[in-house]
């Protein structure tokens, strides 16, 4: 698979990464370790070299799974993980990006990941209580100590990115971006381009919706995060089906699947974009990775964007409590 550099950094990774969260957390029951390991190793065999996890996925179990699965081939891959949440009694309990906490989390993540360095260490959400300069300074210390290679931010606003970048160059921003969430194009992407920062879109398939496999009648598991996402209410899924229909129409023309078109569209936006679709299924992994072979011409992209932009997407992408933590 072709490699891409994240911004001006020397971090070169496969054009498509793998988001590991769903193997342990967020989208229903966790898979067993054997299955999770098989999926991660299948991704490696197919050329994926970039794996994304976080201490809070589980919490902790996802990092353990990723560490164990990648240990035999650690030097062939890049591992990204994240800090910034307080975890009490196995649950998220607010934010905590105090420098001393960041350093503690790094030590614990290194153990769980069975490694001596974290390739990309993201602040998971901006903590309004801690100046971003202090956060960047703490990661800079970890980089100087050889424990971290690159600094990243997640869901940060443009001014925060600029302030952090002055203290310790930011290698990548991870935020949601897809054909049904294009808000980053307004301010975030021009900022990243100007500063030479890579972009790692999560939920590049709209939390599964853009694959066409979810309808208004789909029943999610009780532990599935999408149950509380306004965009996934039954009525909104029904209304938003129009977006999937547009993508499916293009997929037919290109002899591809809707998921492949959605990912190919992202890959065509900028050479420094590396989406991280996740899945628990081997056939979906194969399908997603097939997106790198789908070519969309300028005319294709224009037609797809024009058709999609005529459809107003219904529902917020986060419930109110989580929406407050993004774009800071």
Beta bridge partners of 121: 81, 151
Helix (H) or strand (E) segment spanning residue 259: helix 258-269
Phi, psi of 50 (to 5 degrees): -130, 115
Cα–Cα distance measured from residue 185 to residue 199, given in angstroms and rounded to the nearest whole number: 11
**What backbone phi and psi angles, to 5 degrees, belong to 62?**
-70, -40
Could you confirm whether 57 is annotated as catalytic? yes
User: Rounded distance, CA 296 to CA 9, Å?
Assistant: 27
What Å distances lie between residue 87 and 29, 60, 62, CA to CA? 20, 10, 14
Q: Which of 27, 57, 122, 177 is catalytic?
A: 57
- Do 296 and 264 meet the contact criterion of CB atoms below 8 Å apart? yes
What are residue 48's phi and psi, to 5 degrees? -75, 130
| Separation CA 130–CA 126 (nearest Å) | 8
Alpha-carbon distance of 130 to 155, in angstroms, equals 16
> What is the C-alpha to C-alpha distance for residues 118 and 115, in angstroms, rounded to an integer?
7
Interatomic CA distance for residues 65 and 49, integer angstroms: 16
**Are 15 and 271 in contact, with CB atoms under 8 Å apart?**
no
- Cis geometry, peptide bond prior to residue 59 (ω within 30 degrees of 0): yes
List the strands of the sheet with 118-123, edge to edge.
18-19, 50-52, 78-83, 118-123, 148-154, 170-176, 198-202
- Extended strands (E) in 117-190: 118-123, 148-154, 170-176
The residues that are catalytic are 57
């Amino acid at each position: 698979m072709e490699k891409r550099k994240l911004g001006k950094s020397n971090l070169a990774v496969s054009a498509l990464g793998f988001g590991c969260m769903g193997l342990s957390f967020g989208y229903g029951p966790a898979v067993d370790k054997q299955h999770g390991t098989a999926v991660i190793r299948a991704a490696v065999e197919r050329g994926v070299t970039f794996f994304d996890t976080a201490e809070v996925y589980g919490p902790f179990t996802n990092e353990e799974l990723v560490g164990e699965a990648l240990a035999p081939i650690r030097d062939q891959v890049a591992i990204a993980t994240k800090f910034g949440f307080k975890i009490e009694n196995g649950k998220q309990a607010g934010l905590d990006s105090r420098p001393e906490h960041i350093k503690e989390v790094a030590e614990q993540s290194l153990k769980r990941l069975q490694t001596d360095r974290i390739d990309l260490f993201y602040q998971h959400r901006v903590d309004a209580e801690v100046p971003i300069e202090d956060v960047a300074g703490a990661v800079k210390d970890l980089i100087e100590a050889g424990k971290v290679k690159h600094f990243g931010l997640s869901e940060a606003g443009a001014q925060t990115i600029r302030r952090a970048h002055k203290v310790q160059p930011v290698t990548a921003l991870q935020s949601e971006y897809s054909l049904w969430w294009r808000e980053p194009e307004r301010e975030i992407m021009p900022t990243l381009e100007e500063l030479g920062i890579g972009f790692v879109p999560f939920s590049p398939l709209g939390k599964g919706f853009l694959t066409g496999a979810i309808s208004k009648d789909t029943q999610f598991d009780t532990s599935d995060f999408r149950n509380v996402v306004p965009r996934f209410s039954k009525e909104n899924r029904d209304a938003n089906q129009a977006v999937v229909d547009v993508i499916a129409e293009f997929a037919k023309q290109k002899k591809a699947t809707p998921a492949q078109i959605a990912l190919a569209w992202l890959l065509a936006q900028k050479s420094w974009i590396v989406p991280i679709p996740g899945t628990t299924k081997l056939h979906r992994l194969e399908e997603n990775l097939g997106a790198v072979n789908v070519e969309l011409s300028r005319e294709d992209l224009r037609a797809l964007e024009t058709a999609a932009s005529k459809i107003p997407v219904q529902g917020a992408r986060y419930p109110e409590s989580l929406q407050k933590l993004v774009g800071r």
